[in-house]
Amino acid sequence: MKTENPSIDESERKNADAVVQTSRSLDADAEQTPGKAFAETQAPMIDTIHLQHKELIQSGIQVSQDIFQLRTQLNNQLESEQYLSINSVWIKSLCMKTASIRQNLEGMAGDLSMLEDVLSLRLEENIAIKNAAFASQQQEELERFEQELLHEKEKRRLQVLDDERRVLDQVFQNDLKTYQAVKDYLGVSCPSGRKQESGSHTLEDVDLVVTGDASQLESFYGSSESETE
């Protein structure tokens, strides 16, 4: 944006008025002098000179305005340079503080990265510990379950053996009763020197060979083995 100088405009108006007055005085003198005809012939040239003079004044005004604008810019630049020169120490201090803050931030970023690594390691360790504890608990529960199964299996086996013993004892008692009945029926007396005992008897008390049905014995022992398993 161009700034006009009031003193230059005033000087231009004065110069233009002087030229007009000079031209008018020349015209008046020409009318009163014998060289009026010569003046009339030179009037176009004078007008041209006057127009060129006005253009020159206008260009001078333009140059003056450009110079004024350039001077203003130079003054502003000079003020900026003076401001920078005066506050250079403060600006340097601000730059140093900014660099220090940046270094601190970089250090904090490194510390945060290390902290993240440590937390990740601790998390992995905790997960491994929990997994190991869970696996140990599962193993203990599995072993306890196996022990319970073995205990139940042993209990069932003992129960089957007890049942077999009872069955065999019952069979023996039945066979013994049959034997006694046969002896009583045939009238076979007991050997001398031995007293006939009443009550329960065991296999050691008699000398008896029992011949059973082979198919019945196989089915009996087969059922006993299946129950034991």
Let me know if residue 81 belongs to a domain. Answer: yes
Is residue 199 one of the residues assigned to a domain?
no
Domain membership flag for residue 19: yes
Could you tell me if residue 30 is inside a domain? yes
Instruction: Summarize pLDDT for 20-56 with one digit per residue, the tens.
Output: 566 555 555 545 555 667 767 777 888 888 888 888 8
Tens of pLDDT, residues 70-103? 889 888 888 887 777 777 788 888 889 999 999 9
Domain that holds residue 63: 6-86
Using left for φ > 0, alpha for ψ between -120 and 50, and beta otherwise, residue 210 falls in beta
Handedness of CA 27, 31, 33, 34 (dihedral sign): positive
Report the domain count for the chain.
1
Q: Is 217 among the domain residues?
A: no
Predicted model pTM: 0.32
Whether 187 maps to a domain, the answer reads no
Decide if 227 is inside a domain: no
Tokens 């230059």, residue located: 8
| Residue 40 belongs to a domain | yes
Task: Kindly tell me if the per-residue pLDDT of 204 is higher than 50.
Answer: no
201 CB-near residues (< 8 Å, 6+ apart): 173, 176
